[in-house]
Amino acid sequence: MIRFQGVSLRYGNGPQVLRDITFHLEPGSFHFLVGPSGAGKTSLLRLMYLALRPTRGSITMFGRELVKTPRSDLPALRRRIGVVFQDFRLLDHLSVTENIALPLRMAGLKDGAIREHLTELIGWVGLTHHAESKPTILSDGEKQRVAIARAVIARPSLLLADEPTGNLDPDLGLRLTQLFAELNKIGTTVVMATHNESLAIRFPFSTLAISDGRVTVEQRRVGPLS
């Protein structure tokens, strides 16, 4: 379970970006994080992937109260989290396969174990024909699929996606969201930030709606997928 209790966040001496946020997410759930630009979606995700600590309040993840967790313990917790960024953050000098394998190499897995994970996953995101290509020749949609594969290869307990469809056409955005939904079916908790509420409403998942620094958990909504 992920629990935010009375969480507030400000940067330096600036105004509060998030104010007195309280909610909880059940393991294996899927939530869209929606709200206008500048509402605090990215800041909330940064708290979730442990890049920030709150100014006030408590955050509990993986059975740990994060504010009280020593910084030396955070890397092990971060390995349970996959993150997909809008700007991809791929390494251009590495192939698609090498980019996807990075989290496993950083975790110290040997080549044989890495290969076992890679083949199926590259096929799952539809990039078998680009396995040895460099990111520089890929389309934005293909780059985003590489980023998704890299984020999920270590089978994270939690997947966070920050506007992953923001630069993509509607059809591709829908297909990538369906990939996240498939991952959620095998038990991964997913939080996907999007400014595209017309996309979110097409899936039977609840939303975290953020406005004026506050978060409201909204009921599940179901719309047509076709």
For 205, the 3-state DSSP assignment is coil
**Domains of the chain by start residue, with CATH:** 1-80+156-219 (3.40.50.300), 91-155 (no CATH)
> What's the pLDDT tens digit per position in 102-118?
988 887 888 877 887 78
Q: What are phi and psi of 104, to 5 degrees?
A: -75, -40
For the whole model, what pTM was predicted?
A: 0.88
Phi and psi at 3, nearest 5°, equal -130, 125
- The rounded distance, in Å, linking the Cα atoms of 177 and 200 is 9
Q: Please list the helix, strand and coil fractions of the chain in percent, rounded to the nearest 5, in that order.
A: 35, 25, 40
* Tens-binned pLDDT, residue by residue, of the chain (226 aa): 899 999 999 998 889 999 999 999 999 999 999 988 888 999 999 999 999 999 999 999 999 999 889 999 998 899 899 999 888 899 999 999 999 999 888 878 888 778 877 888 898 888 999 999 999 999 988 998 899 899 988 889 999 999 888 777 888 888 889 889 988 998 999 999 998 888 888 898 999 999 888 999 886 554 444 4
Q: At what angle do helices 170-185 and 140-152 cross, to 10 degrees?
A: 10
Residue type, 179: L
